[in-house]
Amino acid sequence: MSCCLFLMVKAPINGEVKTRLIEKIGEYHSTELYKRFLLDIVEKIEETDTPTIMYYTPESELENLTGLLGNYNKYVHQKGKDLGERLLNGFRYTKKLGYKSAVALATDVPDLPTEIINESINSMEGYGAVIGPSPDGGYYLIGLKNEYLDEDLFSEIEWGTDSVFERTIKKLQDKKIRTKILEPWMDIDTYEDLRMLSKNNAFEGSKTFKYLEKNPEILF
């Protein structure tokens, strides 16, 4: 088997997702918007026709997630004390399944074009790694050929800081892993990010966009 995707899913629990939006728009809208983020990115993934794993947390929310996203994809509970360990274990799991490569994708890029997801998958034919940088210094996507899987790639990184992408690229370069860098894409964490997203006309018709149209008070 060649490549699979795994989506880093956090269950939409009120008050525990999109926490930086809560101060501006409240817990309810933050959670409901995050549900739309999930639905929109899953729709994009389905267009790629690539085997996909819903790599989720917490374990107790499986029933709620399958109710929201459907039960036709494989669901696997995330394991690890931080994001680095969870990513590492996700790649290890795909390797155990027999995939030659895998791409991990964040859920807070609901407007990410299918073309970029396809580009990341296709890059695994000629590259050892692929990474999609975020303007905040992190990354929204990382892919690896499983022959290059190394726990060092995900260790000694200050997750959630503006040095994550830079530090990861340095590790990939030090290991001489040929890496494809994708187009930067904004992940939606803050109120300003949300306002920027609402101006993306190419995203009209999405579940996220429709929710913002239905609840105009969110952006005013």
Query: What does the pLDDT read at residue 179?
Result: 98
User: Contact at 8 Å (CB) between 140 and 71?
Assistant: no
Cα–Cα distance, 211 to 215 (Å, whole number): 6
Nearest one of 167, 172, 177 to 138, comparing CA atoms: 167
CB 139 within 8 A of CB 165: yes
Question: What pLDDT is stored for residue 137 in this prediction?
Answer: 96
Question: What is this structure's pTM?
Answer: 0.95
- pLDDT at residue 204, as a whole number: 84
Residue ranges making up the domain that contains 47: 3-210
Residue 216 counted as domain residue: no
Contacts of 97 (CB under 8 A, 6+ apart): 1, 4
Q: Is residue 168 part of a domain?
A: yes
Q: Is residue 220 situated within a structural domain?
A: no
| Total number of domains in the chain | 1
Whether residue 125 is contained in a domain is answered as yes
Q: What is the pLDDT of residue 220?
A: 76
How far is 118 from 169, CA to CA, in rounded Å?
A: 21
Whether 100 maps to a domain, the answer reads: yes
Q: Mean pLDDT per segment of 10 residues, for the chain of length 220 residues? A: 94 96 96 98 95 97 95 91 97 97 97 97 97 97 97 95 97 98 96 92 88 92
Q: Does the residue 215 lie in any domain? A: no
Residue 34 lies in a domain: yes
CATH code of the domain in which 199 resides: 3.90.550.10
Give a yes or no: residue 108 inside a domain. yes
Q: Can you give the C-alpha Rg of the chain in angstroms? A: 17
Residue 160: C-alpha distances to residues 18, 38, 57, 108 (Å):
13, 20, 18, 14
